[in-house]
Structures are given as structure tokens and as C-alpha cells.
Structure 1
């Protein structure tokens, strides 16, 4: 149930922004799909940890900006995990 809430909260927010966060939508979508494939579920913590890992390995300045924006969106728009 929490997975659906996390996904729907993020999707609702990102959808409401139009094209403003197109790159961020793509990155978050890829991470969510990857987490579902790997773990079968999505948590805020898992999304945040994936974004941090990407930030640590990225070297392109534009990609770093997109990843930071993604992290701000996820941290600011999702409820705390219960675990």
C-alpha cells in the first residue's frame, strides 16, 4: 500500500508541473522501475539512497543538477517511511 502511495504522490506532483521537470520525471521513473524490478517494492529511503548513489558517481554538471533536483523533489514531496 505504501508503495502505491509513494508512487502516486510523486506522480501527481510531477504531473502537475507540466514540462518543468521533464528530466527529473525521467530519472525518478527509471529509479522507481529499477527498484520494483530489483526489490519488488519502492520506499522513500530506497529512492533517496539510489539518488545519492547516482550523485556520488555522476561527473557531468548538468546531470548533477538534475539529480539534486530529483532529490529535493523526493525529500520534499514524499511522506516518511514507517521502517
Structure 2
């Protein structure tokens, strides 16, 4: 997981980045999934906003057939949404 802090620094939201870094040991599956989402978005789009991550996670959730994986994805969605400000 040594590369993940560098991946999380690409997040536009410093509070979310700090939370995921600090909680990585408590939620390794979520941390790994978010790192995968961020890397994928950086490669395909060059950036990873909360909205981009949310859409990526929803797309992944729609294609998974594993209940455990779906739970991890939903928890990631809850986490990212909780750190996303509403549009004004």
C-alpha cells in the first residue's frame, strides 16, 4: 500500500484524502478500491474529482455480481458522498 498515499494526494478534496489515508488500516478493501478508482480516472481523464469517483463507483457497482464486493463499493460511495459538498 506504499503507493496509495501518492494516489490519494490526487484527490481534490483534502479532507477525504486525509480520511482515507488515516483509515486505510481500518478499511483496507475500501482503501484499495478507492485507489483503483483514482488511478483509473487519472489514466483515462487526467483528474479524479469526487463526482468522477462517484460515477466510477456506480458503474462498478452496476457490473459486480459479488455481494461482498458490492458492500465495499457501497461503503466507498457513502464515504465519498459524505465528503462531497452539494451544488449551490
Q: How high is the TM-score relative to the length of structure 1?
A: 0.81
Specify the alignment match of 1:29 in structure 2.
35
Query: Unaligned 5+ residue runs, structure 2?
Result: 1-9
Higher helix share: 1
Q: Determine if the alignment matches structure 1 residue 5 to structure 2 residue 5.
A: no
What's the offset of the Cα at 1:80?
4.8
1:32-47 residue pairs with structure 2 within 5 A?
A: 32-47=38-53
Greater RCO, 1 or 2 (C-alpha within 8 Å, sep 6+): 1
Query: Unaligned 5+ residue runs, structure 1?
Result: none
Say what the alpha-carbon RMSD is for the aligned residues. Answer: 2.0
Number of residue-to-residue matches in the alignment: 79
Specify the alignment match of 2:76 in structure 1.
70
Q: How high is the TM-score relative to the length of structure 2?
A: 0.77
